[in-house]
Chains A and B, each alone.
Chain A
C-alpha cells in the first residue's frame, strides 16, 4: 500500500493528532487521552502517520515521544502548486485562443 502525505491527512483523527503534537512532542498515552476511541485505534492512526513520514518517534527509556514532522505537510501545497502551474499553462494557451477569436469577431 502506498503511504503518502495525502493519505496521512485524509482522516480527521489523524489531522487532530498532528495538531495536538505540532507544538510539543507527546507520548502515545498522552495522545490517546485526548480521544474517545480505543488505544489500539489511536495506535493504528499513529502507525499510518509514522509510515507517511508525518510523525517521528523518539525512544527515551520506556517512553516513546511522538513528534510531528510538519515540513512534510508542505508537500501537499507543493502538489497543489504544480497542478496550478499545469492549469496556468492551459489558461495561458486559452488567452491566445481568445485573442484570435476577438480579432476575428472584430473583422
Chain B
C-alpha cells in the first residue's frame, strides 16, 4: 500500500468554495463504492477517534442521509444531514451537507465529488464544496481543529492587546 498519496485542500482567501483532492491505489468502482456504501463509509468518514453512527444513507439520486458523530462513550453528540441530488456510479455524487449543531439552520453547503479513473487502476477523487458565504466556508475550515484554533486565538489575543495599547 502506498503512503505517498497526499490529501490536498485548496481554499483561496476570500472565496466561498474549496477543493479537496486525493488519489487512491484502487480502481474507480471500488473507490466509488467506499463513498456510497454506508457499511464502508462508517469506517472512515467520521473524525479521528470518534465513532460514526449512520441513521440513514440512501445513496441514489433523490436520496438522503443523516449521521452522528459520537463521544467516547458512543453517545451521539453531533448530527449531520443532507440530500443526494445526483448519484451517478462510478463517476459522480452531488449532495448537500449541513451540520445540525449551529445556532441557526440553513448553513448548508453543496458538495460535488468526482471520481476520475487513472492509469494503473488508480483513482483521483475531487470534492468541490461550495458554501453560502466566505464566513460559512471559513467556519468549516476552522471546525474540528480546536487545538490549533485555540492556539491561533491566543496569538491573536496577544496582538489585539498590543494593538489596543498602541492606539491613542
Query: Which residue numbers of A lie inside 8 Å of B, CB to CB?
Result: 3-7, 9-12, 15, 50-53, 56-59, 69, 72, 75-76, 78-80, 82-84, 86-91, 93-99, 101-102, 105
Q: Is the CB of B166 within 8 A of A98?
A: no
Query: Which residue numbers of B lie inside 8 Å of A, CB to CB?
Result: 1, 5-9, 11, 13-14, 20, 22, 24-26, 30-31, 33-34, 40, 43-48, 134-135, 138, 140-145, 148-149, 152-153, 155-156, 159-160, 162-163, 166-168
Shortest distance between the CB of B6 and any CB in chain A (Å): 7
Q: Is the CB of A69 within 8 A of B43?
A: no
Q: Closest 7 A-B residue pairs measured CB to CB?
A: A93-B44, A53-B159, A6-B138, A82-B145, A84-B9, A98-B26, A88-B7
Inter-chain contacts of A105 with B (CB < 8 A): 30
Q: For the complex, what is the distance from the CA of A52 to the CA of B138, rounded to whole Å?
A: 15
Q: For the complex, what is the distance from the CA of A102 to the CA of B122, rounded to whole Å?
A: 12
- Mind listing 9 A-B residue pairs with CB under 8 Å? A5-B156, A6-B135, A6-B142, A9-B14, A50-B163, A75-B156, A86-B47, A90-B44, A91-B7
Inter-chain contacts of B134 with A (CB < 8 A): 6, 10
Q: For the complex, what is the distance from the CA of A102 to the CA of B25, rounded to whole Å?
A: 10
